[in-house]
Amino acid sequence: MAAPIDPRFVGKASAPLEVDVERGQIRRFAEAIGDADPIYRDEAAARAAGYPAIPAPPTFATSLRPNDVREGIDIDWKKLLHAEQSYRFARPLLAGDRITLVQRIAAIYEKAGKSGVMDFIVMETTGHDAGGALVYTATSTVVIKR
Amino acid sequence: MRTPPVLHELQVGSALPELVKPPIERIQLVKYAGASGDFNRIHVEEGFATAAGYQSVFAHGMLSMAFLGELCARVCGGPGPVRELKVRFKAITWPGDVITCGGTVTAIEPVGDGASAARRIKVSLWCKNQAGEVTCEGSAELAA
């Protein structure tokens, strides 16, 4: 039986990481999810739709991986499941964006379920653009069966 | 060819046009792992998945969320108006499953003082498998 996740990790933040949003990465993401919209592949189509550059599909933000704030926390990955995910966008991500990512642990709690006690970790990731403006906030809740 | 957006035709209670995805293939899970950077072995390594007690590998929950993102972007004519997307994962999606995405407009609210024409359209969202089981559900806010 795994130990509970230590709540003292709440507030822990990852070291900021700068990542570039590349058009090839957007195209491969659109291909993987099976979204055929040409605005994710063709700059002319993106401009015709009113975007200054190729935009990214909404959940593309997941492929911008921050330094993992769970580093150093003992987690049984076989027992971990993604429970909830949310995004708030100020604007869509665009090819050419340089985004600074920081991930924080927002909450750690346990809950008794049908199959026993489960541990929850809530992580919040922010993405700021080169001008310092917040582009999006992503919140992930993962559950670990004990 | 692009699907024309229906955002400005929506009213409270309107159903979003459904999006039916092709059957989930294992190779799609490999592609998604590579494209998203989520290399959790449970989605791509059969032995790892069965050792963890699952019948086989299974889809990343985020793949289903991506389908809901595609549905919202279709409705809007692009990803730009999608201001919020939220999902709760309910059931596992297996290779071979056919996922249908849909939703309903729950509210249309003016933005700011209401003097401008800007509105926020709130929708509830779901993914179902071929058996009609809800695999994830959520909501979105679309700027109109």
pLDDT for B96-124, tens place per residue? Answer: 999 999 999 999 998 877 667 789 999 99
Q: What percent of chain B shows pLDDT beyond 90?
A: 86
pLDDT at position B114 is: 66
Element (H, E) at B71: helix B61-76
**Which tens digits make up the pLDDT trace of A41-61?**
999 999 999 999 999 999 999
**Which tens digits make up the pLDDT trace of B63-102?**
999 999 999 999 999 999 999 999 999 999 999 999 999 9
Q: Is residue A52 domain-resident?
A: no
pLDDT at position B120 is: 94
Q: Residue B112: which region, alpha, beta or left (left: phi > 0; alpha: psi -120 to 50)? A: left
Kindly report the CATH number assigned to the domain that includes residue A112. 3.10.129.10
What is the pairing mode between strands B19-20 and B100-110? antiparallel
Q: Which of B38, B46, B89 to mutate to test the interface with A (most CBs of A within 10 A)?
A: B89
Band of pLDDT at residue A2, cut at 50, 70 and 90: low
* Chain B positions in Cβ-Cβ contact with residue A78 (cut-off 8 Å): 42, 48, 51-52
Q: Residue A40: which region, alpha, beta or left (left: phi > 0; alpha: psi -120 to 50)? A: alpha
* Chain A positions in Cβ-Cβ contact with residue B38 (cut-off 8 Å): 62
Answer whether residue B4 shows pLDDT above 80: no
pLDDT at position B8 is: 87
pLDDT at position B104 is: 97
Mean pLDDT value of segment B2-30:
92
CB pair distance less than 8 Å for B82 and A92? yes
Answer whether residue A25 shows pLDDT above 90: yes
Question: Between A and B, how many residue pairs show a Cβ–Cβ distance under 8 A?
Answer: 119
Q: Is residue A135 domain-resident?
A: yes
Q: Is residue A90 domain-resident?
A: yes
Rounded Cα distance between A80 and B134, Å, is 21
Q: Which of B25, B27, B32 to mutate to test the interface with A (most CBs of A within 10 A)?
A: B32
Rounded Cα distance between A46 and A42, Å, is 6
Q: Is residue A1 domain-resident?
A: no
Q: Is residue A92 domain-resident?
A: yes
Q: Which domain holds residue A12?
A: 7-21+65-145
When divided into structural domains, chain A yields a total of 1
pLDDT at position B5 is: 79
Answer whether residue A1 shows pLDDT above 70: no
Kindly report the CATH number assigned to the domain that includes residue B71. 3.10.129.10
Out of A57, A81, A82, closest to residue B79 by CB: A57
Average pLDDT, chain B: 94
* Chain A positions in Cβ-Cβ contact with residue B65 (cut-off 8 Å): 59, 85
Q: Is residue A130 domain-resident?
A: yes
Q: Is residue A15 domain-resident?
A: yes
| A89: closest chain B residue by CA | B83
When divided into structural domains, chain B yields a total of 1
Is the Cβ of A47 closer than 8 Å to some Cβ of chain B? Answer: no
Out of A32, A83, A86, closest to residue B86 by CB: A86
Rg over CA atoms, chain A = 18
Q: Is residue A43 domain-resident?
A: no
Phi, psi of B19 (to 5 degrees): -115, 115
* Chain A positions in Cβ-Cβ contact with residue B62 (cut-off 8 Å): 59, 62, 82, 85
Cα–chain center distance at A80? 16
Average pLDDT, chain A: 94
CB count, 10 Å around CB of A125? Answer: 22
User: B interface toward A at CB cutoff 8 Å?
Assistant: 2, 21-22, 28, 31-32, 34-38, 40-42, 48, 51-52, 60-63, 65-67, 69-70, 72-74, 77-80, 82-89, 138
Element (H, E) at B62: helix B61-76
Whether the ipTM is more than 0.85: the answer is yes
**Which tens digits make up the pLDDT trace of A100-125?**
999 999 999 999 988 889 999 999 99
CB count, 10 Å around CB of B15? Answer: 11
Q: Which domain holds residue B12?
A: 5-143
